[in-house]
A and B are shown apart, each in its own frame.
Chain A
Amino acid sequence: MRNESLKDIAIKELLLQLADDDFIHSYRGAEWLGLAPHIEEDVASASISQDTMGHAAIYYKLLDELGEGDADKLAHDRPAKERRNAIILELVNGPGHYMKDPDYDWAFAVVRNYFYTQAKAIKVQSLHSCSYEPLAEVAQKVQMELYYHLMHWKTWFVQLLGSGHLEAVSRMKAAIGKTMPDFAGVFSLGQYGEEMVELGLIEGEAVLQKKWIEAITPIFESVGLAATIQIGMARGDGRNGQHTEDLEKALKTLSEVYASDKAASW
């Protein structure tokens, strides 16, 4: 009996991590709408963000089926301290606001998007053999769609770093330097991580991280970057509810309409 409830907790925790990661990642992507470097990119990154929101929604739906409340409520009506997303995903795109004087950094967007999409691909691959069958099924579908997301961000990453253009290369390097110190948060499985692994829900943090490094190393080398990849959780572990002011502000903005009438039917 006790084991069973621990299993339920671990499944819900994992689903919240997956859902909250995709949710805030999609939100930050959506803030680029109309601001991407060119119109084709605007179409592409908006399409990816929309699809990613679909992934968040399906994870929230699985939580709904486990009695955690409906997807809209889970997405809009939880304070920052209850969110499980990795801190690196919540950080703002840059100074300013998408409505006024946005000074967003495309290099940071490319690096964060490529790193995250590659990490997500590895997690989703691991979830194929998840002992919780509904999640294993969803993972199959997500992986097929993710193929296109990953190809897109990998292309940007390689093209900007391989461009030989001084500004592009130096800004990309700065963005890598900004992303690495917090990127381990994406692999954190939080306080129930050991149970998740024991229960066969997903592979452990170290395994996932190793696979990620193996995946990005040849890409780093192809653009002449030294593949000394060191990641950490400088600002804390989002899985345990540690977050920055950036998340607080984002939640306030994205839930503004929902909060205006929580009973309304959309």
Chain B
Amino acid sequence: MATVQLNTEEIYRLLEDVKDPEIDTVSILDLGMVQDVTVSGQDVSVKMLPTFLGCPALSIIQKNVETALKQLPAVKNVCVEFLRSPSWTSDRITEKGKAGLKVFGISPPPRQMKSDGSWHVDCPYCESTYVTMENIFGPTACRSILYCKACKNPFEAMKPMIKII
């Protein structure tokens, strides 16, 4: 029986299409959630990092990865595993991911925080820096709610998740 040789590039290409279920302009790859992909014969193993432990979307993402990869006839088994280590940090989000977040009206996470733990982002719509923090907690664990005083739009930002904090 002839089998088609699978390669990891092909898998990564398919993972590009698996979006965050709550932010459909950003793939799980661009969120930096995929730590490793290995292919062994017809079996694919995807090792992932959870953004937040309390994120209810994790099991949905897992299912979506399985469904996406099983589109390939050569794929027989998909094993998706969430790793305990390393911890996901917000600097894993790619430039493409940041652009995708802005399209959705979410400012990408800032690279650093001030010494008092506060942080600043600009408005994803009008780029104004004249914004206020309304709520560090937002509709999902990874997001905060802000308000732009320039264009008068509420918007969200990805919380910074940095090792040193």
Query: A and B: real partners?
Result: yes
A89→B138 CA distance, assembly (Å): 25
Are A54 and B52 within 8 A (Cβ)?
Answer: yes
**B52→A51 contact, CB < 8 A:** yes
| Cβ contact within 8 Å between A134 and B53 | no
Partner of B137, one of A52, A58, A148: A148
Q: Does B114 contact A (CB under 8 A)?
A: no
**Given A140-B85, A140-B87, does the pair A50, B54 have CB atoms closer than 8 Å?**
yes
Cross-interface CB contact of A137 among B55, B84, B134, cutoff 8 Å: B84
Whether A55 and B54, one on each chain, are in contact in the complex, defined by CB atoms closer than 8 angstroms, is: yes
Q: Is the CB of A52 within 8 A of B54?
A: yes
A265 to B162 alpha-carbon distance, docked (Å): 36
Assembled-state Cα–Cα distance A152/B144 (Å): 13
Is A145 interfacial (CB-CB < 8 Å)? yes
Nearest-CB residue, chain B, relative to A142: B53
Chain B, interface SS category:
loop
Query: Which B residues lie within 8 Å of A58 (CB)?
Result: 53, 84
Interface assignment of B61: CB less than 8 Å from any CB of chain A? no
Contact B117 A47 (CB under 8 A): no
A148 and B53 contact, CB distance less than 8 A: no
Instruction: Determine if B135 is an interface residue (Cβ-Cβ < 8 Å).
Output: yes
State the Cβ distance, B136 to closest chain A Cβ, in Å. Answer: 6
When distances are taken between beta carbons in the complex, the residues of chain B under 8 Å from A234 are none
B73 at the interface (CB under 8 A from A): no
Q: Would you call B85 and A137 a contact (CB within 8 A)? A: yes
* B152 at the binding interface (Cβ < 8 Å): no
Q: With A138-B84, A140-B85 in contact, do A54 and B138 touch (Cβ < 8 Å)?
A: no
A251 within 8 A of B: no
- For residue A229, CB closer than 8 A to chain B, the reply is no
B137 in contact with A152 (CB, 8 Å)? yes
Q: Is the CB of B53 within 8 A of A40?
A: no
Tell me, in angstroms, the Cα distance from A44 to B139 when the chains sit together: 9
Within 8 A of B (CB), among A37-71: 40, 43-45, 47-48, 50-55, 57-58
Residues of chain A within 8 A of B165, CB atoms compared: 144, 147
The reply to whether B135 and A51 contact each other, CB–CB distance below 8 Å, is no
Chain B residues, Cβ within 8 Å of A134: 84
Count residues of B near A (Cβ-Cβ below 8 Å). 26
Within the assembled complex, what's the spacing in Å between the Cα atoms of A144 and B52? 9
Q: Within B106-163, which residues are at the interface with A (CB < 8 Å)?
A: 117, 134-141, 145, 159, 161-163
Contacts of B136 in A (CB 8 A): 44, 148, 151-152
Q: A106-127 toward B: CB 8 Å interface, digit per residue (1/0)?
A: 0000000000000000000000
A141 within 8 A of B: yes
**Given contacts A54-B53, A137-B84, A148 and B134 within 8 Å (CB-CB):** no
Chain B nearest Cβ from A135, distance in angstroms? 9
Provide the bound-state CA to CA distance between A134 and B159, in Å. 26
Residues of B contacting A148 with CB < 8 Å?
136-137, 159
Whether the Cβ atoms of B135 and A44 lie closer than 8 Å is yes
Min C-beta distance of A41 to chain B, whole Å:
9
Neighbouring B residues of A142 by C-beta, 8 Å: 53
Q: Can you list, as one digit per residue, whether each of A246-263 has a CB less than 8 Å from chain B (1) or not (0)? A: 000000000000000000
Q: A43-B135, A44-B135, A51-B53 are in contact. Are A141 and B141 (CB under 8 A)?
A: no
Query: How many whole Å from B124's CB to the nearest CB in chain A?
Result: 20
**Cross-interface CB contact of A141 among B84, B134, B137, cutoff 8 Å:** B84
List 19 A–B pairs whose Cβ atoms lie within 8 Å, in order of A's numbering: A40-B134, A40-B135, A40-B145, A43-B138, A43-B145, A47-B138, A47-B141, A51-B53, A57-B53, A57-B54, A134-B84, A137-B85, A142-B53, A144-B87, A144-B161, A145-B161, A147-B117, A147-B165, A151-B136
Additional A-B contact list (5), CB under 8 Å, known A43-B145, A47-B138 = A43-B139, A47-B137, A47-B140, A141-B84, A144-B162
Closest 3 CB pairs of A and B: A54-B54, A51-B54, A44-B137
